[in-house]
Amino acid sequence: MSQGSAPRYPMVLVPGMLGFIHLVLYPYWYGIVEALRRGGAVVFAVQVSPLNSNEVRGEQLLARIEEILRETGADKVNLIGHSQGSLTARYAAAKRPDLVASVTSVAGPNHGSELADYLHRHYAHDSLKGRLLSGLLRVINALMCLLDTGYHGPKLPVDVHGSHHSLTTEGVALFNQRYPQGLPETWGGHGPEEVNGVRYYSWSGTLQPGKTDRGRNLFDGTNRSCRLFAKTFVREAGHCDGMVGRYSSHLGTVIGDDFPLDHFDIVNQSLGLVGKGAEPIRLFLEHAARLKAAGL
């Protein structure tokens, strides 16, 4: 990406569930922020509650957007959300479209996650197994907060049940009734390109034998986790990234939904140990140029 192809507005990267900015020195958006900045883009990787509802996270994001606008003097921002971060970004844009130029969903569960549905059925929050899982997530969250060297704000609230319910098919259906902007009218289709002055985009990946299970992914433990999680999918069996279904991810203009990337590879996590032929950073650079071309 050349200096001339940098977007007009700052790019704000919003993490998913159990997200962070830096765990000690390790960034959530591994190599992506630096690549975008080298191309001249103004980029902010932000933090919201790692475990909470879309609405709570969305209000936190709105407060952070206002800070960024004051700091940069920009009129709007381009939001890019990964996983639950996509729903968080959608909420912010629906509430304050005057502050948002675009929303881009990267592997976002815009119609819910079948993995979340499976956990809801087998690990109900009021069951013993559910309470044990909730306790484990709280411990992981507390440890990650201690290790996050990129966030220096106030302590963020935790709501494990709210976070989980916000990702189920039922929970996202309720969310979509309130905030339908950018959603396709038909399953697997494209959504409207622009709503209330906000442009909507999405892309996602799928697990592909011969690609996502080879290359550097042979040394990537998260890829093995995604392959295990994929076994919980029924409606989109064989068409998911391990956590989000191919068609469930659709929002606005669908840039692609079958890139050879699992749910973590798509933001270049695990030190960039991605599968055969995968180039997640290139997708972000191309999108920055796309936003620039659209005047965003």
Q: Rounded to whole angstroms, what are the CA distances from 40 to 11, 88, 219?
A: 11, 26, 33
Q: How confident is residue 215, by pLDDT bands cut at 50, 70 and 90?
A: confident
Instruction: Dump strand ranges (E) for the chain.
Output: 11-14, 22-23, 26-27, 43-45, 77-82, 100-106, 194-195, 198-205, 253-259
Rounded to whole angstroms, the Cα distance separating 238 from 155 reads 39
Residue 260, pLDDT score:
95
Among 20, 5, 231, 199, smallest CA distance to 102 is for 199
Catalytic, 83? Answer yes
**Residue 61 in contact with residue 153, Cβ under 8 Å?**
no
Q: Please write down the HEC assignment for all residues of 110-154.
A: CCCCHHHHHHHHHCCCCCHHHHHHHHHHHHHHHHHHHHECCCCCC
Q: Check the CA dihedral 72-76-79-85 and report its sign.
A: positive
Q: How confident is residue 244, by pLDDT bands cut at 50, 70 and 90?
A: very high
DSSP β-ladder status, 198-205 and 194-195: antiparallel
Rounded to whole angstroms, the Cα distance separating 155 from 254 reads 36
DSSP β-ladder status, 77-82 and 43-45: unpaired
Catalytic, 257? Answer no
Q: How confident is residue 4, by pLDDT bands cut at 50, 70 and 90?
A: low
Residue 1, pLDDT score:
47
240 strand-pairing partners: 245
Could you give the domains of the chain? 3-293 (3.40.50.1820)
Q: Is the pLDDT of residue 77 over 50?
A: yes
Q: How confident is residue 266, by pLDDT bands cut at 50, 70 and 90?
A: very high
Residue that has been written with the tokens 């279904």 in this structure = 245
Residue 240, pLDDT score:
97
What's the average model confidence in pLDDT over 120-136?
85
What's the average model confidence in pLDDT over 239-251?
97
What's the average model confidence in pLDDT over 12-30?
93
Q: Rounded to whole angstroms, what are the CA distances from 123 to 92, 127, 161, 231, 293?
A: 30, 7, 11, 16, 46
- Set 111, 263, 265, 270: catalytic member: 263
Rounded to whole angstroms, the Cα distance separating 217 from 227 reads 11
Q: 44-67: per-residue pLDDT in tens?
A: 999 999 999 999 999 999 999 999
Residue 277, pLDDT score:
84
Catalytic, 241? Answer yes
Query: What is the CA angle 113-193-98, rounded to 5?
Result: 95
> Could you tell me the two tokens for 291?
């936003």
Mean pLDDT over the full length of the chain: 93
Residue 214, pLDDT score:
86
Q: Is 28 helix (H, G, I), strand (E, B) or coil?
A: coil
Q: Please write down the HEC assignment for all residues of 40-77.
A: CCCEEECCCCCCCCHHHHHHHHHHHHHHHHHHHCCCCE
Phi and psi at residue 96, in whole multiples of 5°?
-135, 70
- Set 117, 148, 213, 241: catalytic member: 241
